[in-house]
Chains A and B, each alone.
Chain A
Amino acid sequence: DAGVTQSPTHLIKTRGQQVTLRCSPKSGHDTVSWYQQALGQGPQFIFQYYEEEERQRGNFPDRFSGHQFPNYSSELNVNALLLGDSALYLCASRRGGAENQPQHFGDGTRLSIL
């Protein structure tokens, strides 16, 4: 049973560029959330997707956008990259429609901005 998978594992970009990160949820999960984890900090919620729509958003600018596909996989897009966007980007999935289900995380994409 495959867990949450993310690609790529590492990425290097320069300021002003755009990036797309990808996530496949755990089998049986239909809800995908994205988190940003700066070095030495806990993950910070970016947004969550369910039924191909953004259901809730954290305190992140519009440069951060996402998408969910019919097969429940998801993409995170970041435009006009800033040095401060360097972080580990984590995807988490869970079963929607049921309360209090744990989110399961992938191993993340390490994004470095030069």
Chain B
Amino acid sequence: GESVGLHLPTLSVQEGDNSIINCAYSNSASDYFIWYKQESGKGPQFIIDIRSNMDKRQGQRVTVLLNKTVKHLSLQIAATQPGDSAVYFCAENGDDYKLSFGAGTTVTVRA
């Protein structure tokens, strides 16, 4: 069955450094992937998405990379700020109707 997982449950990063959050997926038929950020007491907030016909997409301070060969997804955050502290989820859209989430990576930014 399909599953989405993150390599590390926690990530501590120095303010100003770049962060890289990794995610592995198992459903090779998945064609759409989304990264969400969830702060305490809030719902998941859309960060960036990527379709399977792309291998890289950039947003404001964020870049998502997709490697379909090894079924791996990563989120890079440039110049990490204290406001980036949150739980980050990758989600897989294996069909048109539902998202499958991993357990998340908690990012803590050190001042």
A positions within 8 Å CB-CB of B: 4, 33, 35, 40-45, 48, 55-56, 58, 90, 92, 99-100, 102-108
Chain A residue numbers with a CB within 8 Å of B96 are 99
Q: Is the CB of A107 within 8 A of B42?
A: yes
Q: Is the CB of A42 within 8 A of B103?
A: yes
Using Cβ atoms and an 8 Å threshold, which residues of chain B touch A55? 97
Knowing A45-B100, A48-B98, A107-B41 are in contact, say whether A100-B46 is a contact too (CB < 8 A).
no
A105 and B43 within 8 A (CB): yes
Query: Besides A4-B43, A42-B91, A107-B41, 8 other CB < 8 A contacts?
Result: A42-B101, A90-B44, A100-B51, A100-B93, A102-B49, A105-B43, A105-B45, A105-B46
Q: Which residues of B approach A to under 8 Å, CB–CB? A: 4, 31-32, 34, 36, 41-46, 49, 51, 89, 91, 93, 95-104
A107, B43: Cβ atoms closer than 8 Å: yes
Q: Please, how many angstroms separate the alpha-carbon atoms of A31 and B39 in the complex?
A: 24
